[in-house]
C-alpha cells in the first residue's frame, strides 16, 4: 500500500507541476511553431481533463485500496498518451522532445500496474 501511495502522490504532484503552467504558454507555443492554434478548445480541453486526473491521482494516494478501481482508469489515462505519441512520431507529426515527455507516462503506467497488483495483495 505504501508503494501505491507514493507512486500516485508523485504522479499527481508531477502532473500538476507540468500541466498547470501550460495554461499560460499558448502565445509562446504559437510563436515557436509559427502557426496559430486551429482548435484551441482541444488544447485547453486536454489541459483541463489532464489536470483533473492529476487531482484524481492525489485522491487515490490518500487510500489506495479504497480507490483501487480508479487505478484501472488511471492506467488508461497514461496509456492513451504514452502510446499515441510514439505513433505520431513515426508519422512525423510530433518531435522527439514530445516522445521523451510521453515516455514519462509509460514509466508511470508501469508503476500504476505494479501498484494495482500490490494493492490487490493488501485487499485480500
Q: What are 66's three cell numbers?
A: 479504497
Instruction: Average the pLDDT over 16-25 and give the result.
Output: 96
CA–CA separation, 50 vs 48, rounded Å? Answer: 5
Domain that holds residue 77: 2-123
pLDDT at 38: 87
Length of the chain: 124
Three-class DSSP category at 52? helix
* Total domains present in the chain: 1
In the chain, the DSSP E strands lie at: none
pLDDT at 33: 80
pLDDT exceeds 70 at position 123: no
Q: What is the tens place of the pLDDT at every residue in 45-80? A: 999 999 999 999 999 999 999 999 999 999 999 999
Average pLDDT, the chain: 94
pLDDT exceeds 60 at position 124: no
Amino acid at each position: 500500500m505504501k508503494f501505491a501511495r507514493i507512486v500516485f502522490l508523485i504522479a499527481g504532484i508531477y502532473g500538476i507541476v507540468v500541466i498547470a503552467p501550460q495554461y499560460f504558454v499558448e502565445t509562446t507555443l504559437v510563436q515557436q511553431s509559427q502557426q496559430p492554434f486551429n482548435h484551441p478548445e482541444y488544447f485547453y480541453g486536454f489541459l483541463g481533463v489532464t489536470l483533473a486526473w492529476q487531482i484524481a491521482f492525489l485522491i487515490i494516494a490518500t487510500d489506495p485500496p479504497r480507490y483501487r478501481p480508479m487505478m484501472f482508469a488511471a492506467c488508461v489515462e497514461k496509456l492513451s498518451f504514452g502510446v499515441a505519441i510514439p505513433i505520431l512520431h513515426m508519422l512525423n507529426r510530433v518531435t522527439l522532445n514530445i516522445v521523451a515527455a510521453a515516455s514519462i507516462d509509460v514509466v508511470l503506467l508501469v508503476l500504476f500496474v505494479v501498484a494495482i497488483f500490490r494493492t490487490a495483495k493488501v485487499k485480500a
